[in-house]
Structure 1
Amino acid sequence: MKVFDPYDIWACPSLGRLKHRWYQGDKSAGIVLRLVALLDALAPVPLRRMLGVDKHDFAHVEAMLLPLTLEKKNSVVSKFRSMLTSSGGWGLPFDWYSKNGVYDANTPYVTNTPYVMEALLSLAETPELHEEAMALFHGTWGFLESLKIMHGDANMLALSYAPVDEPRKVVNANAYAAFAYGLHAVHGRESIRDQAREKATRLACWVTRQQKEDGGWFYYADNEPGNFIDGFHSCFIVKNLLKMVRLLPETQSLVDESIARGWAFIQENLLDKEAGLCRRFVQRSHRDPYKWDLYDQAEFLGLLVDFKRYEEAGAFATRVEQKFRKGNHWYCRIDIFGRRWGRDFLRWGIAPFLYHRARLQVAVKGSC
């Protein structure tokens, strides 16, 4: 399903270059960016139409929505193949300008690819799709091995977000990498399983060592300017460590305490008990006009399901739906004035929320 996205306008070359200049410290670029951001906040769809921004498909969104759609499974496999980058993984269908550098639309990300890997393993359960789905899954080994080693010793490993040189290590990206290697340790070719298990373990060890005393994680593994602690990236780390330990039970003693501390941090610092929703930040790197983000709610809901707190998850999901849904449309953010923003911007929180809500429904049904 082709949709607009919160970050697609910044793929316009002129705006992307301005954003890159701003990250490099050009304050004059920030003036124009703030004006564009204001227009984006006030009229996101008209702005995109004015700029000629196209709607896009996202491979990892297709992966998350696979259990919820009636689309033929063989067409999904074909779609994954068509979206595959030359490096053997999946990313975003537009250029992305981040603090870590400029990534073109052919760049695969370790934060996106594992969702497709999971979907391919599910599709491989269908006999007529098994060979093609597993061929695509096995191909992701080359992508993982192309990631740059940013730290490596006998016990720990940290990799880049994408197969390019990057200046800063991203913690949640390495939690995804641990899970992805864990998938290969169990489902990959026999010849690489031991290597995959060893790398998954070292990656998980590195992630746990980046955890702060209070149980939280910064986005970047450093104390440089622009760092932050937010909701959904914190949830990503706990989620992926949980997934990895389910695949590799022998790592439980390595990550269990870290998972417990991270989950406690999220509940204590990110859940607004009065509003019944998850806050966006514990520590900010920038200001914007949005108070609530559906992505935070989606990933918190996912953890409630992971920890089998089904009654709490059901009540939470109902509150979120009341806030972020209007009629048949979902919105991905709510601003400081209470206005919903980003109607049907599927990737940004909507697809993850629908996915985790479906997981909750299955879990509740199975526990009855």
Structure 2
Amino acid sequence: MKYYDPYDIWSLPSLGDLKIKWTQGKKKSSVIVPLIGILEIIAPNHLRKYMSVKPNIFAHVEAMRYLSGDLTPRETLDVFTTTRVRDCAWGLPFSWFSKNGVYPANTPYITNTPYVMEALLDIACLPEFKVKADRLFEQTWDFLETLEVMHSTSSELALSYAPIREPRMVVNANSYAALAYALHAVYGNDEIRALATERAERLINWVLAQQQENGSWFYYADDAPGNFIDGFHSCFVIKNLLKTQKLLPNLEALTQPAINNGWLYVRNYLYDPQHNLCRRFSHRSHRDPFRWDLYDQAEYLGLLIDFELLDEAQNFASRVESRFQRNSEWFCRIDIFGRPWGKGFRRWGITPYLYQRYRLQHLNAGSN
């Protein structure tokens, strides 16, 4: 299925050029950028239709849909085949404007590809699809090997977000890289398993070294301007550490204390007990007109499930759905005026939340 996205509006060449000028500080030559931002807040879907923005397919979203029982294996493999980048990875179909620079459309990302890898391993359990799924999974090794080495010692490793030069190291991206290498360490070809294990362990060591004394992780591994701590990226790191130590149990003595400290930070500083929702930030880099984000709720719900807090997860899910669902329609954000925003923007939190809700319902059904 195809969906609009919070960031697709800037994929239009004319707006993309203006966004680049704006981020470079050339405000006078790009005064239309804040106007587009205001219109997007007021009427995001109508603006996209008026600007002829095309909805897109996102492979990692379809991976979650498959794991939620929404897609058949055949449909999922077809999507993975047609959307792969460089024949070995997956990314976004539009340009992404980041503090790390501008990433062109169809750049492969380490944050997207592991979701597809996990779905491929599940599909490979089915004899009819095993050969194709295995082949697509094995090819992701080539993608991992194209990531730029940004930090390397005998015990630590940090890689880029994508196979391009980047000025800043991203913590959650390296937690995804650790997971991807751990998947190859267990399920990859015999000849690369030892190397994959070594890479995963060094990546984990680097991620753990970035953890602050209070248990948090900043988005970037530096103290430069623009850094932040937010809900869903913090949860990503913990989720990926949990998955990686499950694949490589020898890491547990090292990773479990960091997981516990990170989870304690999320519970104390990002969860809001008054509203029973997960806050967007505990350390901000910028202001915007949104108060709550469904992506934060999705990843927090996932951790409640991972830590087997199922009663709390059920209560939390009920609260989330009362805020982000209106007349059976899902929205990805709530603005400062309490209005839902981003109807049907499935990549940005909606599908991740529905996937976690599926996990919760599946576990509850199994316990009855």
Same fold (TM over 0.5): yes
User: Once the 2 structures are TM-superposed, how far is the Cα of residue 17 of structure 1 from its aligned partner?
Assistant: 2.1
- C-alpha distance in structure 2 between counterparts of 1:30 and 1:365, whole Å: 54
Aligned residue number for residue 152 of structure 1: 152
Q: Does 1:256 align with 2:253?
A: no
Aligned residue number for residue 209 of structure 2: 209
Q: Is the 8 A contact 1:279 1:296 kept in 2?
A: yes
1:87-126 residue pairs with structure 2 within 5 A?
A: 88-126=88-126
Q: Which amino acid aligns with 2:17?
A: R
Q: Secondary structure at the match of 2:291?
A: strand
Q: Is the 8 A contact 1:19 1:29 kept in 2?
A: no
TM-score, normalized by length of structure 2? 0.98
- C-alpha distance in structure 1 between counterparts of 2:280 and 2:155, whole Å: 33
User: Once the 2 structures are TM-superposed, how far is the Cα of residue 72 of structure 1 from its aligned partner?
Assistant: 3.0
User: Once the 2 structures are TM-superposed, how far is the Cα of residue 49 of structure 1 from its aligned partner?
Assistant: 1.2
Structure 2: state its 5+ residue gaps: none
Query: What are the superposed Cα offsets for residues 181-204 of structure 1, whole Å, 9 maximum, x if unpaired?
Result: 000000000000010011001001
- C-alpha distance in structure 2 between counterparts of 1:359 and 1:46, whole Å: 33
- C-alpha distance in structure 2 between counterparts of 1:72 and 1:252, whole Å: 35
Q: Is the 8 A contact 1:60 1:112 kept in 2?
A: yes
User: Once the 2 structures are TM-superposed, how far is the Cα of residue 229 of structure 1 from its aligned partner?
Assistant: 0.7
1:4-43 residue pairs with structure 2 within 5 A?
A: 4-28=4-28, 31-43=31-43
Q: Is the 8 A contact 1:183 1:247 kept in 2?
A: yes
Aligned length: 368
User: Once the 2 structures are TM-superposed, how far is the Cα of residue 254 of structure 1 from its aligned partner?
Assistant: 1.7
User: Once the 2 structures are TM-superposed, how far is the Cα of residue 67 of structure 1 from its aligned partner?
Assistant: 2.9
- C-alpha distance in structure 2 between counterparts of 1:235 and 1:72, whole Å: 28
User: Once the 2 structures are TM-superposed, how far is the Cα of residue 30 of structure 1 from its aligned partner?
Assistant: 6.5
Q: Secondary structure at the match of 1:356?
A: helix
Aligned residue number for residue 357 of structure 1: 357
- C-alpha distance in structure 2 between counterparts of 1:151 and 1:87, whole Å: 27
- C-alpha distance in structure 2 between counterparts of 1:304 and 1:30, whole Å: 43
Identity of matched residues, %:
55
User: Once the 2 structures are TM-superposed, how far is the Cα of residue 283 of structure 1 from its aligned partner?
Assistant: 1.2
- C-alpha distance in structure 1 between counterparts of 2:124 and 2:166, whole Å: 34
Q: Secondary structure at the match of 1:146?
A: coil
- C-alpha distance in structure 1 between counterparts of 2:241 and 2:77, whole Å: 27
Q: Is the 8 A contact 1:94 1:105 kept in 2?
A: yes
Q: Is the 8 A contact 1:226 1:285 kept in 2?
A: yes
- C-alpha distance in structure 1 between counterparts of 2:327 and 2:246, whole Å: 38
Aligned residue number for residue 272 of structure 1: 272
Q: Is the 8 A contact 2:87 2:139 kept in 1?
A: no
Structure 1: state its 5+ residue gaps: none
Q: Which amino acid aligns with 1:73?
A: P
TM-score, normalized by length of structure 1? 0.98
- C-alpha distance in structure 1 between counterparts of 2:209 and 2:264, whole Å: 17
Q: Secondary structure at the match of 2:145?
A: helix
Aligned residue number for residue 58 of structure 2: 58
User: Once the 2 structures are TM-superposed, how far is the Cα of residue 29 of structure 1 from its aligned partner?
Assistant: 5.7
- C-alpha distance in structure 2 between counterparts of 1:71 and 1:220, whole Å: 35
User: Once the 2 structures are TM-superposed, how far is the Cα of residue 31 of structure 1 from its aligned partner?
Assistant: 4.0
Q: Which amino acid aligns with 2:358?
A: A
